[in-house]
């Protein structure tokens, strides 16, 4: 008899280690992150006091020699505990929430506030893409020293011979959701054991959904609506990828 799958609303804990809302956009010609640093620090430093830059090495070749130039690629502002980040990139904006994660509804006001500050600083011309990414780390327990991935994954790798047991794998696919036009990118793979982890196989489930729809700038409600649609598809993929036994590891 098939076990009934619990819904995400019944989860007491969550396997999410990072959730990312990423908005890629075209910026005005000549936009410079160096110039944006001062107004960005003024806008974000109260809520996100920890600051760092991410650099990009750009190669240059002339007739006489080759050289590299270090340019600023991302301005990163983080909360004092490091669990929440806002990133201003050369091609867009991202909001990262690390574990512990409660739920998207709780973070949407902070995402809206951060995006609106970002938009004032950068004056984006057009949204190119909205990407919702959830990285889950699932601790699948062994039983009698063995583990059947089919007990935890509805879709995933299968071994051709019974006497084989996985020591590692990478399962990846891209897909198009015909109902919404959203793109899907998923990766399921193993993760190294951490200290004091025994009798489990840690699995990474990287679940990404992407909208490339035309979104009107100026009204946050347009972006909010698209993020919620992406969340619905993300949840559908999550629940359909994992078995009831796996989902029940986190259900009340």
Q: What is the pLDDT of residues 211-232, one digit of tens each?
A: 999 898 888 999 999 999 999 9
- Cβ-based neighbour number of residue 125 at 10 Å: 13
Q: 10-247, what's its fold? A: TATA-Binding Protein (3.30.310)
pTM of this structure = 0.90
Average pLDDT over residues 149-176: 86
Q: CA 214, CA 128: separation in Å to the nearest integer?
A: 7
Better pLDDT: 87 or 8: 87
- Cis-peptide, bond into residue 88, ω within 30° of zero: no
Which pLDDT belongs to residue 113? 98
């Amino acid at each position: 008899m098939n076990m009934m799958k619990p819904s995400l609303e019944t989860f007491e804990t969550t396997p999410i280690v990072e959730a990312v809302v990423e908005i890629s956009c075209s910026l005005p010609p000549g936009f410079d992150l160096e110039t944006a640093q001062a107004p960005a620090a003024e806008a974000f430093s109260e809520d996100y006091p920890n600051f760092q830059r991410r650099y990009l090495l750009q190669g240059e070749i002339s007739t006489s020699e080759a050289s590299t130039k270090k340019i600023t690629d991302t301005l990163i502002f983080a909360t004092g505990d490091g669990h929440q980040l806002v990133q201003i990139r050369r091609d867009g904006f991202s909001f990262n929430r690390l574990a512990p994660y409660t739920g998207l509804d709780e973070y949407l006001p902070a995402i809206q506030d951060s995006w609106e500050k970002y938009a004032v600083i950068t004056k984006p011309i057009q949204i190119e893409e909205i990407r919702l990414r959830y990285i889950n780390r699932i601790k699948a327990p062994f039983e009698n020293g063995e583990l059947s991935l089919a007990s935890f994954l509805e879709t995933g790798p299968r071994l051709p011979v019974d006497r084989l047991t996985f020591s590692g794998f990478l399962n990846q696919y891209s897909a198009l959701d015909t109902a919404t036009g959203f793109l899907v990118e998923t990766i399921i793979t193993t993760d190294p054991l951490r200290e004091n982890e025994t009798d489990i196989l840690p699995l990474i489930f990287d679940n990404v959904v992407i909208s490339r729809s035309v979104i009107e700038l100026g009204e946050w409600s347009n972006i909010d609506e698209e993020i919620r649609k992406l969340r619905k598809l993300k949840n559908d993929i999550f629940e359909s990828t994992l078995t009831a036994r796996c989902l029940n590891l986190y259900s009340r």
